[in-house]
Amino acid sequence: MNDIELCLPNISDGEDKSSPFINCLRNSYRHLRKWAKRTYTDCFRIYDRDIPQFPLAIDLYAGRICVHYFSRGKDTDEPSPELKEEVTKALCTLFGVTVPMIYWRTRAKSKETRQYEKIAAINEYFTALEYGVKFRINLIDYLDTGLFLDHRETRMLIAHASAGKRVLNLFAYTCSFSVHAAVAGATYTKSVDMSNTYTAWGRENFILNDLSTRNNEIVRADCLKFIDDEIRSGTRYDIVIVDPPTLSRSKKMDQLFDIQVDYIALLKKSMALLNPKGVMFFSTNSRKFIFDNNAFTGCRIEDISHKTLPIDFHDPKIHRCWKITI
């Protein structure tokens, strides 16, 4: 499995009294690098909006750096030239990278969910490691990279439960939950997503880890329609993963999907796909989301959000996650 080496840059010790930002980066990375070597991981967050003057999240991906700038307004705007220059210089100095190895992203306070939006067509992919599992990453073509780092521990939690199990991954994106489950010994996985791009990307992730696509099926479909068809077919699973977008207006869907409005119907239908004693994992990144336990009967519901918060993320509300057992 581990036929590629970890890419974890070495940095110098010391302290720069003139730059709290550099000191914050250095201290964070020195701490995380020990964990990364131990877990065979080279994609993680090294800065998480720790200093107000630097409204950034900075992620390391196998020696490359992705900088997310958080706009203070609803309209997309760019960081000031001064901020960009200071941050770029600090990263180059500290990590020994060159400017082309630093990728900037702007995240505006927009109500639209655009996580799958294509912003370029360079097709520049490389491989990063997460707990020894390989994933294809793209830091230039899409708003997101192919791997949501905040769900690292969620993936591991599900992987630990997957040995010998049949796993269904809905809204699968690039199939990272399924890949981890398959590596951990799931007997069968099925990943469903509406996008041709991401189902193809997911297939490459399986191949990258020497996993047969015979036992790891990938389906391009509207998940809402797929669930109805799967219920009628009588197909059942031991684990169902439901990680939908907060809001979706895709042209491929016949209706608007709103997580707060539609989650009860979505989860009840998804539960119908579970075997007896089956488990569903449900997650959302919506900060305003309210889960009503009373809407569900005949199951045990556990909020496991705290168990899924990674070591490198400081915001306890980065996502919410529930384990539902029937």
- The one-letter code for the residue type at 169 is N
148-325 folds as Rossmann fold (3.40.50)
Q: Residue 120 has what pLDDT?
A: 65
Q: How many residues does the chain have?
A: 326
Q: Indicate where the chain has its CATH 3.30.750.80 domain(s).
A: 20-107
Is the pLDDT at 307 greater than 80? The verdict is yes
CA dihedral 85, 89, 91, 93 (to 10 degrees): 180
Q: Residue 60 has what pLDDT?
A: 99
Rounded to whole angstroms, how far apart are CA atoms 57 and 68? 5
3-state secondary structure of 267: helix
Q: Residue 117 has what pLDDT?
A: 62
Q: Residue 155 has what pLDDT?
A: 99
As a whole number, mean pLDDT of residues 221-243 equals: 98
Strands in 300-303's sheet, in edge-to-edge order, are 216-220, 188-193, 166-170, 237-242, 274-284, 320-325, 300-303
- The one-letter code for the residue type at 39 is T
Q: Residue 305 has what pLDDT?
A: 98
Q: Which long-range contacts (CB under 8 A, 24 or more apart) does 111-117 make?
A: 111/74, 111/247, 112/247, 112/249, 113/245, 113/246, 113/247, 113/248, 114/143, 115/143, 115/144, 115/245, 116/142, 116/143, 116/144, 116/173, 116/195, 116/197, 116/198, 117/142, 117/143
Q: Nearest-5° angle of CA 155, CA 183, CA 151?
A: 10
Q: Residue 2 has what pLDDT?
A: 61
Q: Indicate where the chain has its CATH 3.40.50.150 domain(s).
A: 148-325
DSSP state of 288: T
**Structure confidence by residue, pLDDT tens digits, 102-142:** 999 887 655 444 445 666 667 899 999 999 999 999 999 98
As a whole number, mean pLDDT of residues 160-166 equals: 99
pLDDT band at residue 13, thresholds of 50, 70 and 90? Answer: confident
Q: Per the structure block, which two tokens stand in for 278?
A: 């089956």
Burial 46-55 (b: 16+ CB within 10 A, else e): bbbebeeebe
Is the pLDDT at 204 greater than 50? The verdict is yes
pLDDT band at residue 190, thresholds of 50, 70 and 90? Answer: very high
Q: Residue 113 has what pLDDT?
A: 43
How many other CB atoms sit within 10 Å of the CB of residue 184?
20
Is the pLDDT at 249 greater than 80? The verdict is no
Q: Per the structure block, which two tokens stand in for 171?
A: 């809204």
Is the pLDDT at 176 greater than 50? The verdict is yes
**Structure confidence by residue, pLDDT tens digits, 45-86:** 999 999 999 999 999 999 999 999 998 765 557 899 999 999
Q: Which class is 20-107 in CATH?
A: alpha beta
| Average confidence score pLDDT of the chain | 93
Q: Residue 47 has what pLDDT?
A: 98
User: Residue written as tokens 């400081």?
Assistant: 314
Q: Residue 252 has what pLDDT?
A: 55
Q: Residue 123 has what pLDDT?
A: 82
